[in-house]
Structure 1
Amino acid sequence: MASLSEILTSIRQRLDRKEELREQILPLARQLIRESAALIKNAHRKEWNEAQNRRKVLIEAVSDLKVKLAQAPDLWFAGFVQDALKEVAEACIVYALLRDEPVPSPEDLGIDDAPYLNGLLEAMGELRRATLDAIRSEDLSTAEKFLAIMDEVYFEAMTFDQADAVTQGARRRTDALRAILERTRSDITLAYQYRKLSNLLPALGEVTETENELLP
């Protein structure tokens, strides 16, 4: 049987190795966050070739990260790693939605359910941005399509009633999505009303000209 000193020495050595691994993983997690933000920017700008390459690199990086953490699986669930995975999920979902491709699953991305769910909810904020771009381009059919997706995500997310410790704060993000959804619905409604008014203006102008001609 090992002595107390030997037990503590073994623990110290294992924790030292884990700390070294954590220090190696931190910059990788930050890089995932930066690359995810860049992927979202590429998607909004319709830079599809660059976006596709970046998406592939991100998914491979997540897989590599999981391999690196196989010897310390508890670090996979550390806050900074889960946050990075959430950002990857958000970016890949935004890419798929704006490219009109099937939305990747958690298994496709190699990401656990909770960070995936939160990434999906945060992706709806980017979808609102795309909706506003569509409204400015007078592409109301695309705006309606994005609104329908936001609607579906919100009502499905409402059914998740697990504790925050399990969903990593999904309830809070669902509540925030409700406000985003209502603002977006209002923006689209106003855009339709503006279109109707714009269509009526030429006819009103013709009526006014006719009335002026009839005046003595």
Structure 2
Amino acid sequence: MNRDWNVETKILEVLRDALKSLMLTQETIDPVRERMIHVSREISVMIRNGFKMIYKGEYNKLDSQIKIINSKIVDVMATLREDEYDILSRILYDPLKEYVELILLYSIVSRDSSLLSYIGEIDPRIVLDGYVDLMGELLRLAQKAISDSNCVEALKIIQLCEEIYMEFYISQIGNYLYRDHKRKSDRMRSILERVKSDYIYGCVGR
């Protein structure tokens, strides 16, 4: 083995090279990142307004709103190079999850499936998280149907909740690919059990 008395210097050189590489990447990515943050905030506001439209029954307005959101998402994602995607796409993770949830909920309450195709372009893991959050909204819809004595509609919602949960439960997706799969399945089961309990109390028990 040859001894290198300059090994400390070379170790620092490797460190400097790694830091320099990351700083150069940062200089390239920062303008794109700032734009994505701006678009993310903009989309989040539009999505919150979209949920308000659902509860007001303004489905025609929401149809147009979702199309605008989709256009913004497609536009900003198209600006990402392949090497930037893994670094920056996480900025849009939460807005995209809420976007999936919004489309699903809109499709249910409006009985219009035409916008579901927009979901096909989104990371499947984000789509699954959108379904997890959808269960909470379905609980609210079921509770409203029960309070309005619309037990037929409440039962339809319960059946959909059961089918969504079972699809999650029987799937064999590794935690390395979809994090906290079991925990999320358990959360969905908990919501399903609460919906069923409310239904029994509000409809069957009358």
- TM tier relative to shorter chain: 0.7 to 0.9
Which protein is bigger by CA-based radius of gyration?
1
Q: Does the Cα contact within 8 Å between 1:131 and 1:146 map onto a contact in 2?
A: yes
Classify 1:88/1:31 alpha carbon distance in 2 versus 1 (closer, same or farther; 3 Å).
same
**Distance in 2 separating the partners of 1:6 and 1:169:** 36
What is the letter of the counterpart of residue 175 of structure 1? D
What's the counterpart of residue 85 of structure 2?
A: 73
Q: Does the Cα contact within 8 Å between 1:43 and 1:51 map onto a contact in 2?
A: yes
Tell me by how many angstroms 1:98 deviates: 1.3
Tell me by how many angstroms 1:23 deviates: 1.8
Calculate the aligned-residue CA RMSD, in Å: 2.6
Write the deviation string for residues 161-182 of structure 1: whole angstroms up to 9, x where unpaired: 3233422434322211111110
- TM-score for both structures, normalised by structure 1: 0.78
Q: Does the Cα contact within 8 Å between 1:135 and 1:143 map onto a contact in 2?
A: yes
Residue 170 of structure 2 aligns to a residue in which SS? Answer: coil
Classify 1:16/1:136 alpha carbon distance in 2 versus 1 (closer, same or farther; 3 Å).
same
Residue 166 of structure 1 aligns to a residue in which SS? Answer: coil
Q: Does the Cα contact within 8 Å between 1:44 and 1:130 map onto a contact in 2?
A: no
- In the TM superposition, 1:134-153 aligns within 5 A as 134-153=145-164
Tell me by how many angstroms 1:10 deviates: 6.5
- In the TM superposition, 1:101-140 aligns within 5 A as 101-102=112-113, 105=116, 108-140=119-151
What's the counterpart of residue 9 of structure 2?
A: none
Unaligned runs of 5+ in 2: 1-13
- In the TM superposition, 1:1-216 aligns within 5 A as 12-70=23-81, 72-78=84-90, 80-102=91-113, 105=116, 108-195=119-206
Write the deviation string for residues 54-103 of structure 1: whole angstroms up to 9, x where unpaired: 1111211221121122362223542x322221111111111111112338
Question: In percent, how many aligned pairs have the same letter?
Answer: 23
What's the counterpart of residue 5 of structure 2?
A: none
Residue 79 of structure 2 aligns to a residue in which SS? Answer: helix
Tell me by how many angstroms 1:149 deviates: 0.5
- TM-score for both structures, normalised by structure 2: 0.81
Structure 1's consecutive aligned runs of 4 or more residues displaced over 4 angstroms after TM superposition are 4-11, 103-109
What is the letter of the counterpart of residue 40 of structure 1? F
Write the deviation string for residues 136-188 of structure 1: whole angstroms up to 9, x where unpaired: 11111111111111000001011233233422434322211111110110111
Tell me by how many angstroms 1:14 deviates: 3.1
Unaligned runs of 5+ in 1: 196-216
Residue 69 of structure 1 aligns to a residue in which SS? Answer: coil
